[in-house]
């Protein structure tokens, strides 16, 4: 039995509970409030900004983290970043931006810091009882809400591989989130494991800081530089999306030909980005470092052996420091897995339109997608849709039922066929199709009710 400060739960009426005060949570709070909802936001840490705040004790930032998507494709649609900022802002600038957003829209007064949610239960049909556990001292509180939005993100639980002999390895092994300072790389023989954005970024840091850098990748991923044709890559590619259909293929191929040939020259045999739907790595420096030999690429690790590491191709090295940039596993333990459509052995939620719980109408998840473009605008439109949905549901049950059917139909459209085994690709959506689908969902919700 848990100790509660009072027996009865405090009823917050139609108020909405938002969990997490990172980028997604802040956007959710702002959009819900703009639509007239009362909101309580709970943040387990004592600071806002989520993964972008280095003071967050769980922050996954590594040295010199920058956005991999450009400013114009990443900024929140109704709160642009200052236009004198660089095309690819740093993590510090992202935090400054999110802090300004929270201040501008007066969000802080709705956030309860140091409050971890320990339990969420459905009560009275579609309402939720939430148990809030303050970090310091006092007993847990129980509150009831009309709806819950989970915005806890998916970059918290490190995805750690286990190799034979790893526990007896004599060098240091760190996950990318534990590497807070590039000075730890200085003068060392560094082995970076993982071919995602973080792995490639850290390999570039090691290329200029460490005594030597070996980069172990299990399989080849498509590589994109941060600029193409004189423009930020994602912007250049998005612009092609606005051209007539028969031209798109041709223009995309022309744009990607150079980078594709460079990657092939460096021994990266991967289908071009966009064709297989696999999210490309975005880094312009990496291939040049491979080209000047400051990064040596190797295949998968076969085993650790005392001081040494043996790769699948039989080569060996003796690293002082191994950085596992192997990403994160999505992990939501707040609610019963069934509520998020987690079934069978797969730990991945199956949500309607990637945001609505298939079981509970008033439970939604914001930002649990990997769209291959900036996530902030996606979350903006998601929470916009969620807020509208909560309105429609309250006011017009018949439209709500219709909408529900529509959403189920939408949900089947943008599952990306994923050949890769890497966890984050399980959350991948095709940005263009997903945005179009979000657009249709918002249109349905905004339609005037038929009289």
Partner 1 sequence: MSLTAWVRRARTPEPAPVRREIAVFEPADLFDIDIKDDPEASPVLCCTDDPAGAAAFNALWLKRIATSGRYAAAVSVRGQGGTPAAEGGVEAFTHDVVQAAVTVPRQAVLIGHREGAAWAALAAGRYPAAGLVLVSPQRFPKQPPKPVGGPPILLVVSESEAQSKEAQAVTEAYGTAPLTFAGSPDEVFKGAAAEGILDAVLSWLDGKK
> Binding partner 1 by CB under 8 A: which of 55, 80, 135, 186?
80
> Binding partner 1 by CB under 8 A: which of 10, 57, 64, 103?
103
CB neighbours of residue 295 within 10 Å: 25
**Residue 110 Cβ, how far from partner 1 at the closest point, in Å?**
14
> Binding partner 1 by CB under 8 A: which of 100, 123, 211, 312?
100
* Separation CA 15–CA 148 (nearest Å): 9
What's the token pair of residue 327?
């990403």
- Regarding 415 and contact with partner 1 (CB under 8 A), the answer is no
- Regarding 227 and contact with partner 1 (CB under 8 A), the answer is no
What's the token pair of residue 90?
């740093």
**Residue 116 Cβ, how far from partner 1 at the closest point, in Å?**
30
For 113-139, the DSSP string reads TTEEEEEEEEETTTEEEEEEEESSSSP
Measured CA distances, 316 to 292, 302, 311, 396 (Å): 21, 10, 6, 66
Residue 185 DSSP code:
G
- Helical pair 245-265 and 233-241, crossing angle rounded to 10 deg: 150
> Binding partner 1 by CB under 8 A: which of 64, 77, 186, 306?
77
Among all chains, which residue has been given the structure tokens 């970059």?
A: 155
> Binding partner 1 by CB under 8 A: which of 73, 221, 357, 422?
73
- For partner 1, the closer of residues 213 and 224 by Cβ is 224
> Binding partner 1 by CB under 8 A: which of 14, 78, 305, 361?
78
The size of the interface with partner 1 (CB under 8 A), counted in residues, is 27
**Residue 228 Cβ, how far from partner 1 at the closest point, in Å?**
14
Q: Return the SS3 of 28.
A: helix
* Interactions with partner 1, residue window 236-265 (CB under 8 A): 238-239, 241-242
**Residue 72 Cβ, how far from partner 1 at the closest point, in Å?**
6
The closest of 312, 282, 283, 284 to 297, measured between CA atoms, is: 312
- Regarding 106 and contact with partner 1 (CB under 8 A), the answer is yes
* Interactions with partner 1, residue window 9-28 (CB under 8 A): none
Q: Which residues of 108-129 are buried (b: 16+ CB within 10 A; e: fewer)?
A: eebbebebbbeebebeeeebbb
**Residue 23 Cβ, how far from partner 1 at the closest point, in Å?**
16
What's the token pair of residue 211?
């005594």
Q: Is 296 exposed, middle or buried (0-12, 13-18, 19+ CB in 10 A)?
A: middle
Return the bridge partners of 115, or none. 134
- Regarding 300 and contact with partner 1 (CB under 8 A), the answer is no
Choices 129-137, 233-241, 296-304, 332-340 (CB under 8 A): range interacting with partner 1: 233-241
Q: Could you give the angle at the alpha carbon of 406 between the alpha carbons of 400 and 410, nearest 5°?
A: 140
Choices 48-56, 57-65, 71-79, 145-153 (CB under 8 A): range interacting with partner 1: 71-79
> Binding partner 1 by CB under 8 A: which of 84, 269, 292, 417?
84
Binding mask 151-170 for partner 1 (x = CB under 8 A): --------------------
**Residue 81 Cβ, how far from partner 1 at the closest point, in Å?**
8
Return the bridge partners of 123, or none. 127
33's CB contacts (< 8 A; 6+ apart) are 39, 105, 107, 110
- Regarding 72 and contact with partner 1 (CB under 8 A), the answer is yes
- Regarding 105 and contact with partner 1 (CB under 8 A), the answer is yes
- For partner 1, the closer of residues 289 and 388 by Cβ is 388
**Residue 447 Cβ, how far from partner 1 at the closest point, in Å?**
13
CB neighbours of residue 278 within 10 Å: 24
What's the token pair of residue 51?
């993964």
* Interactions with partner 1, residue window 420-449 (CB under 8 A): 435, 438-439, 442
Choices 103-111, 123-131, 293-301, 404-412 (CB under 8 A): range interacting with partner 1: 103-111
- For partner 1, the closer of residues 316 and 446 by Cβ is 446
Task: Show the beta-strand stretches assigned E in 290-383.
Answer: 296-298, 301-305, 308-311, 316-317, 321-324, 328-329, 363-365
* Interactions with partner 1, residue window 340-379 (CB under 8 A): 377
* Separation CA 225–CA 232 (nearest Å): 9
Choices 130-138, 232-240, 331-339, 403-411 (CB under 8 A): range interacting with partner 1: 232-240
> Binding partner 1 by CB under 8 A: which of 4, 34, 318, 346?
34
- Number of H-type helices and E-type strands within the chain: 10, 23
- For partner 1, the closer of residues 60 and 232 by Cβ is 232
Residues found near partner 1 in the complex (CB under 8 A): 34, 72-73, 77-80, 82-84, 100, 103-106, 231, 235, 238-239, 241-242, 377, 381, 435, 438-439, 442
């Amino acid at each position: 039995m848990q100790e509660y400060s009072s027996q009865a739960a405090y009823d917050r009426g139609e108020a909405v509970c938002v969990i997490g005060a990172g980028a997604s949570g802040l956007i959710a709070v702002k959009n819900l409030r703009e639509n007239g909802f009362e909101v309580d936001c709970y943040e387990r840490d004592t600071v806002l900004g989520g993964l972008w705040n280095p003071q967050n004790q769980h922050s996954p930032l590594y040295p010199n983290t920058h956005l991999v998507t450009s400013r114009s494709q990443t900024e929140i649609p109704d709160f642009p970043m200052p236009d004198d900022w660089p095309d690819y802002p740093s993590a510090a600038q992202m935090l400054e931006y999110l802090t300004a957003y929270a201040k501008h829209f007066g969000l802080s007064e709705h956030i309860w810091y140091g409050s971890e949610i320990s339990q969420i239960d459905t009560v009275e049909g579609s309402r939720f009882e939430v148990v809030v556990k303050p970090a310091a001292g006092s007993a847990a509180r129980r509150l009831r809400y009309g709806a819950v939005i989970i915005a806890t993100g998916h970059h918290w639980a490190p995805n750690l591989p286990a190799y034979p002999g790893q526990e007896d390895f004599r060098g240091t092994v760190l996950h990318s989130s534990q590497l807070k300072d590039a000075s730890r790389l200085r003068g060392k023989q560094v082995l970076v494991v993982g071919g995602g954005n973080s792995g490639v970024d850290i390999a570039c840091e090691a290329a200029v800081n460490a005594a030597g850098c070996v980069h172990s990748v299990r399989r080849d991923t498509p590589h994109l530089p941060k600029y193409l044709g004189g423009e930020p890559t994602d912007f250049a590619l998005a612009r092609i999306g606005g051209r007539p259909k028969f031209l798109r293929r041709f223009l995309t191929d022309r744009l990607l030909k150079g980078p594709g040939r460079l990657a092939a020259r460096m021994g990266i045999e991967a289908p071009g980005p966009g064709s297989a739907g696999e999210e490309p790595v975005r880094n312009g420096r990496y291939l040049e470092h491979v080209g000047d030999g400051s990064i040596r690429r190797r295949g998968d690790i076969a085993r650790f052996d005392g001081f040494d590491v043996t790769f699948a191709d039989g080569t060996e090295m003796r690293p002082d420091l191994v950085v596992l940039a192997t990403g994160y596993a999505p992990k939501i333990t707040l609610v019963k897995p069934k509520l998020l459509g987690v079934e069978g052995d797969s730990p991945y939620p199956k949500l309607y339109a990637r945001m609505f719980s298939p079981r509970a109408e008033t439970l939604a998840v914001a930002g649990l997608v990997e769209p291959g473009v900036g996530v902030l605008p996606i979350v903006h439109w998601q929470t916009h849709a969620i807020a509208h949905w909560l309105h429609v549901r309250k006011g017009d049950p018949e439209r709500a039922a219709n909408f529900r059917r529509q959403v189920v139909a939408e949900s089947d459209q943008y599952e990306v066929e994923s050949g890769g085994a890497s966890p984050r690709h399980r959350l991948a959506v095709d940005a263009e199709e997903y945005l179009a689908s979000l657009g249709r969902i918002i249109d349905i919700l905004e339609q005037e009710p038929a009289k």
